[in-house]
A and B are shown apart, each in its own frame.
Chain A
Amino acid sequence: MAEQATQQAEQGAERTPQWAMAIDLDRCTGCEACVVACASENNVPTAGEDQAAMGRTKHWIRIDRYYEGEFPDIKVKYRPVMCQQCDEAPCEPVCPVNATYQNAEGLNVQIYNRCIGTRYCANNCPYTVRFFNWFAPEWAEPLNLQLNPDVSIRPSGVVEKCTFCAHKIKRAKLDADADGRDLADGDVQPACVQSCPAEAMVFGDMSDADSKVARQLGSGRAGQLLESLGTKPRVFYLEKAD
């Protein structure tokens, strides 16, 4: 740890990015492109018909629909929900083996190898965005042919969830290092952000005041999901104030 810190100091005090996401609900059309992109990027297995009927599908990101008014005068609002990467995450303290924690960049990290499967974290997540591997992962043909080599396959019996595409963050850092430059705003694009046709999602370093995400957070439209619980999520939802 100390060694790392000195190394960092020698390299010219590299700032630790603080990852955050802003999702503009007024732009989201509920098309679910992000859901598909996430599943294929992150090797999220398919569940099959029977298991899906039981409620055992895995969607690291999902679109929650909220209806306002009575039919036919109805307004639908879509809200993409993934792991909120909380600063005060209820999932973290309850794990008896420390299989989940918040890293220096603000990501809630899940260590698959360490997970023994008490599923306490999944219970204690108010957003219900943690998923359990009921069986060894399987993919319906031909999805088994498109697995992403950058993302590990999770074994049966462990909990998994959205990582903010941690592997893409790592790749972006490696690429920046190789080019001898600093990470620039927009270098990291999680699969959901990348695939959003409405450009409703923005990802970046919120500690950098010039980043797009920081500007959006300061727009006055930003709020958090279940804010009253005090979980301090890193995902912010932008909405027109009523």
Chain B
Amino acid sequence: MDAIPTTALTPDSSHASVRADMLGRMRGGSGPYLAGVAVCGVIVAWALFAWGYQIVNGFGSTGVRRPVYWGFYIVNFVFWIGISHAGTLISAILRLTGAEWRKPVTRAAEAITVFCLMIGGLFPLIHISRPWFFYWMLPYPNERLLWPNFRSPLFWDLTAILTYLSGSVIYLYLPLIPDLAELANHSTGAKRRIYRALSLGWTGSDRQWQALERAMKLMAVVILAIAVSVHSVVAYDFSMSVMPTWHNTIFAPYFVVGAIFSGIAALVLVMAALRKMMGLERYLREVHFVNLSKLLLLMSLIWGYFTFSEHLTTWYGNLPSEIRVFQIREHGLYGMLFWTMVACNFVIPFVLLGISKLRSIPTIAVSSAAVLLGMWLERFLIVIPTLSTPPLAAAWGSYAPSWIELSITAGTFAAMVLLYLLFVKAFPIIAIWEYDDGVRAR
């Protein structure tokens, strides 16, 4: 279990057999598959309706109110952008460190990144009350000589996320190219033409392989830097403000850690689902889950340390405005959520993953689900309590989401599943070319 296999995973995982297997999985759709697509489609459609309702009837149809001007949308935004760190970051680290066990994991991870960014990137659009003027945030030449405000963390956010999205799409796309050429060779008609065009004239020559390897390595380095900067900038949305407990130096690294943490959890869950539903036991083996679970445990410990540091300093410093936020966060309803968060993010992973006897694919999946819930709660507990207790007590308030926010939140989870369901039928979820039998000279 502890030895990481460095060669092809199973004796029968020759290039041809992997190719045949993957191509076979992309064909057609079973009953449950189609039902899943339909259910997710309906939920997404309902969420789109809710968004339309919000735009037509006014932003007041959400539950946001004074003084909590940011609600579920910002929580979801941070959550999804956080998860997006699953893919690219993990796959980039594994690629750069040459961890051979990454082979069946990377594409699944990179796809998560792209989809999460698409979903997370929508939230600013959903969150603003006049989305039809969204383009005012972009620096485009116009006759009124108006520019966006380069000092605003929201503008940095936009820049960071667009950069990350473009980078991630390229990073998902590059390793797809050889597979796309392979797909073109094994399909007919319009499909063949599409795959052929997407493969950018890939022939598999030595020169092309070298160029591809170089590009992938370069992108891995670039994407690592971008990923860290993106979640730092998301943290700056809060820490650049003057609000109690938001104005905080720990937030940028804390957010990056939290993002990687929830990203790994999402990756494990997706892998467990793929393994179960697509029958990928042959590729996604226990060793992959165990290796990722060790990373997850490490991140859980770091997260626990950061959380402890943040709360300890707030409590010990005892500043009047900050201690109020601290108190409502640790008592009452928010208190319940707080301790649930601690249980989900620290206690459960610590016990289930820390004790090696308990470590198995089901417990790893359970810990991951707990971490996802815990990290969502973490973002909720960062956004809402601070806003509900602004410095002047006369303005204190509360927040509860309306059906609009709940529908849209549900819709984004359905959208994630839907995008994934469609992806596994359009592209091989495991990179075929990585199982090359050593045919290709490295």
Q: How many residues of B contact A (CB 8 A)?
A: 44
Who on chain A is nearest to B241 by CB? A124
> Which residues of chain B have a CB within 8 Å of any CB of chain A?
57-60, 63-67, 69-70, 124, 127-131, 133-134, 136-137, 146-149, 151-155, 158, 237, 240-243, 387, 390-392, 394-395, 397-398
Residue of B60, B127, B158 near A56 (CB, 8 A) is: B60
Is there an interface contact between B130 and A157, defined as CB atoms closer than 8 Å? yes
Residues of A within 8 A of B70 (CB): 119, 123
Whether A120 contacts B65 in the complex (CB less than 8 A), given A94-B240, A98-B146, comes out as no
Task: Compute how far the CA of A115 lies from the CA of B152 in the bound complex, rounded to whole angstroms.
Answer: 14
- Is the Cβ of B130 less than 8 Å from the Cβ of A94? no
B136 touches A97 (CB 8 A): yes
- Assess the B394–A90 pair: CB atoms within 8 A: no
Whether the Cβ atoms of A132 and B69 lie closer than 8 Å is yes
Determine the residue in chain B with the shortest Cβ distance to A124: B241
Q: Tell me whether B58 and A94 are in contact (CB under 8 A).
A: no
| Chain B residues in 8 Å Cβ range of A96 | 137, 148-149, 152, 154-155, 158
* A140 surroundings in chain B (CB, below 8 A): none
Are A55 and B149 interface neighbours, CB within 8 A? Answer: no
Per the bound structure, the CA–CA distance linking A98 and B133 in Å amounts to: 13
Minimum C-beta distance from A150 to chain B (A): 25
* A192 interface contact, C-beta 8 A: no
Interface size class of A (residues with CB under 8 A): 35 or more
Q: Return B78 CB to nearest CB of chain A, in Å.
A: 14
A114 touches B136 (CB 8 A): yes
Contact B154 A120 (CB under 8 A): yes
30 A–B pairs (Cβ distance < 8 Å), ordered by A: A54-B63, A55-B66, A55-B398, A56-B66, A64-B392, A65-B394, A90-B241, A93-B149, A93-B151, A94-B154, A94-B241, A97-B149, A115-B130, A116-B130, A116-B137, A117-B129, A122-B69, A123-B243, A124-B242, A126-B242, A126-B243, A126-B390, A126-B391, A127-B391, A132-B69, A133-B58, A134-B58, A135-B57, A156-B58, A226-B391
Please measure, in the bound complex, the distance between the C-alpha atom of A225 and the C-alpha atom of B153, giving whole angstroms. 26
How distant is the Cα of A86 from the Cα of B121 in the complex, in angstroms?
33
Q: Which chain B residue lies CB-closest to A113?
A: B133
Q: CB within 8 Å of B: which of A152-182?
A: 156-158
- List, in ascending order, chain A residues with CB within 8 A of B398's CB: 55
A81 on interface, CB distance cutoff 8 Å:
yes
Assess A119 versus B241: contact at CB under 8 Å? Given A62-B394, A132-B59, A158-B130.
no
Given contacts A95-B149, A118-B127, A128-B392, 8 further A-B contacts (CB under 8 A): A54-B63, A56-B66, A94-B240, A96-B152, A96-B154, A98-B148, A132-B59, A225-B392
Give the CA-CA distance A97 to B137 in the complex, in Å: 6
**For B152, what are the chain A residues with a Cβ–Cβ distance below 8 Å?**
93-96, 120
Contact check, B58 vs A136: say whether CB atoms are below 8 A apart.
yes
For B137, the chain A residues whose CB sits under 8 A away are 96-97, 116
Do the beta carbons of B397 and A55 come within 8 Å of each other? yes
Per the bound structure, the CA–CA distance linking A151 and B395 in Å amounts to: 26
